[in-house]
């Protein structure tokens, strides 16, 4: 009945499903959740507020091809994301920038720090905090240590459960000092949110009659994969097509090299009978409280509605046996984990009927635009 089975209805699986269906291929998309869209799923809560069920998702990209491709499936509404960080009793821009320096330090010191950053790095440069800490200049070293202690180290420990030095550079580089007065969190050319929500994008991606979707289904309950021969069976019968897999690579191969570690999250939603809960979409709490950030959704959606809904985000260890911790949001990027993933990757290469794509399957951090670009490139290269 099907040419392809796709495990996972997030961006990786849904984009590939849409592209393959456009070539008249028949597909079965399987997802264990009750909805499509993966972690990008959004919905209206009981108060009528459009919420992001798995934390805030803000689309931004410099890739016009990706922006235009998704534009076939949604209308865009321009949105510029702003984040504040609660430091020493006040909210300052995040990433830390020249405006934050002026806000937190005496005027003379702020002017000195600004001048040195501008002279050494130039306006607009984003400098990873761990790189700045290695600088020989005493003033910049002071600034780097301040930001590291106040903004970076405790947030990182909460988010990942590790010390910053234990995490791969591709993660720590995502927390820069921005030599700029631009308070936006992103500086990409295209920044927007889907006018009718993310879920509508996925409905449109998957609407082809060539695509069948099974939700609330563990893929191993309907599909057998022989991890020795590579043989596939679907609903008890041999399946001669291809498998596109976007889930945890260690789960696919029955944990033959051991479990890979992931980081999970808990989201606590609160509704408040006020017009506005906080000044901007997201406020980070690096040092205070057990949560890392609070997001207020009305800032994203520009809804005109009484009351407001916020979500507090609590990082936690992943445990596939615990229903409250069994969603793997992020691979944990350390050298040891990379070596274990490589074992799985090399083992997977012998199976020509399987394609691995996605954050969990490839053990990579993808933003939404990166994931769409990866799926489109894979389709163009392979099919």
CATH code where residue 251 lies = 3.40.50.720
**What pLDDT score does 335 carry?**
86
pTM for this entry: 0.94
Characterize the bridge pairing of strands 262-272 and 242-245. Answer: unpaired
> Based on the domain organization, do 232 and 341 belong to the same domain?
yes
pLDDT band at 334 (very low <50, low <70, confident <90, very high): confident
26 pLDDT higher than 80: yes
Residue 150 lies in a domain: yes
> Based on the domain organization, do 249 and 350 belong to the same domain?
yes
Residue 314 lies in a domain: no
Q: Containing H/E element for 238?
A: strand 237-239
Q: Say how far apart CA 367 and CA 373 lie, in whole Å.
A: 10
Residue 187 lies in a domain: no
**What pLDDT score does 4 carry?**
98
**Per-position DSSP letters for 329-370, written without gaps between them:** -EE---HHHHHHHHHHHHHHTT-TTEEE-SHHHHT----HHH
> Based on the domain organization, do 125 and 164 belong to the same domain?
yes
What are the start-end ranges of the H helices in the chain?
11-22, 64-70, 98-104, 107-121, 129-132, 138-147, 153-160, 169-172, 198-205, 249-252, 298-301, 335-348, 359-362, 368-382
pLDDT, mean of residues 186-199: 97
174 pLDDT higher than 80: no
> Based on the domain organization, do 250 and 364 belong to the same domain?
yes
> Based on the domain organization, do 32 and 144 belong to the same domain?
no
Residue 338 lies in a domain: yes
Strand order in the sheet with 190-194: 59-61, 190-194, 76-78
pLDDT above 90 coverage of the chain, percent: 89
Residue ending a domain, choose from 159, 178, 197: 178
Residue 190 lies in a domain: no
The domain total for the chain is 2
> Based on the domain organization, do 133 and 173 belong to the same domain?
yes
> Based on the domain organization, do 237 and 152 belong to the same domain?
no
Domain of residue 28: give its range: 4-36+206-260+332-382
Could you report the per-residue pLDDT of 252-265, keeping only the tens digit for each?
A: 999 999 999 999 99
297 pLDDT higher than 70: yes
> Based on the domain organization, do 234 and 347 belong to the same domain?
yes
333 pLDDT higher than 90: no
Average pLDDT of the residues of the chain: 95
Top-confidence residue, 37 or 163:
37
């Amino acid at each position: 009945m099907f040419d392809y089975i796709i495990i996972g209805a997030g961006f990786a699986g849904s984009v590939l499903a849409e592209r393959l269906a456009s070539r008249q291929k028949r597909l079965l998309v399987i997802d264990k959740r009750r909805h499509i869209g993966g972690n990008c799923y959004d919905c209206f809560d009981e108060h009528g507020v459009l919420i992001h069920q798995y934390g805030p998702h803000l689309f931004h990209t410099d890739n016009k091809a990706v922006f235009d491709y998704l534009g076939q499936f949604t209308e865009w509404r321009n949105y510029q994301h702003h984040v504040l960080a609660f430091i020493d009793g006040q909210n300052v821009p995040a990433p830390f920038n020249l405006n934050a320096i002026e806000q937190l330090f005496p005027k003379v010191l702020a002017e000195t720090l600004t001048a040195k950053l501008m002279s050494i790095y130039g306006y607009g440069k984003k400098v990873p905090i761990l790189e700045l800490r290695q600088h020989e200049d005493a003033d910049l070293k002071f600034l780097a240590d301040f930001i590291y202690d106040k903004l970076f180290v405790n947030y990182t420990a909460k988010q990942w459960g590790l010390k910053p030095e234990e995490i791969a550079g591709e993660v720590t580089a995502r927390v820069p000092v921005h030599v700029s007065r631009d308070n936006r969190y992103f500086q990409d050319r295209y920044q927007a949110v889907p006018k009718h929500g993310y879920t509508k994008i996925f409905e449109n991606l998957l609407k082809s009659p060539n695509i069948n979707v099974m939700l609330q289904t563990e893929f191993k309950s309907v599909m057998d994969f022989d991890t020795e021969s590579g043989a596939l069976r679907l609903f008890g019968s041999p399946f001669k097509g291809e498998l596109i897999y976007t889930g945890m690579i260690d789960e696919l191969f029955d944990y033959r090299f051991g479990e890979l570690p992931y980081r999970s999250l808990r989201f606590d939603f609160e509704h408040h009978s006020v017009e506005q809960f906080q000044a901007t979409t997201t406020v980070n709490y690096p040092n205070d409280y057990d949560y890392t950030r609070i997001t207020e959704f009305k800032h994203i959606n520009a809804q005109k509605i009484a009351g407001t809904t916020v979500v507090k985000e609590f990082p936690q260890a992943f445990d596939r046996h615990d229903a409250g911790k069994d969603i793997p949001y992020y691979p944990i990027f350390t050298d040891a984990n990379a070596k274990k993933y490589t074992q799985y990757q090399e083992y997977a290469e012998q199976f020509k009927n399987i394609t691995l794509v996605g954050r969990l399957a490839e053990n990579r951090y993808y933003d939404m635009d990166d994931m769409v670009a990866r799926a489109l490139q894979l389709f163009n290269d392979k099919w």
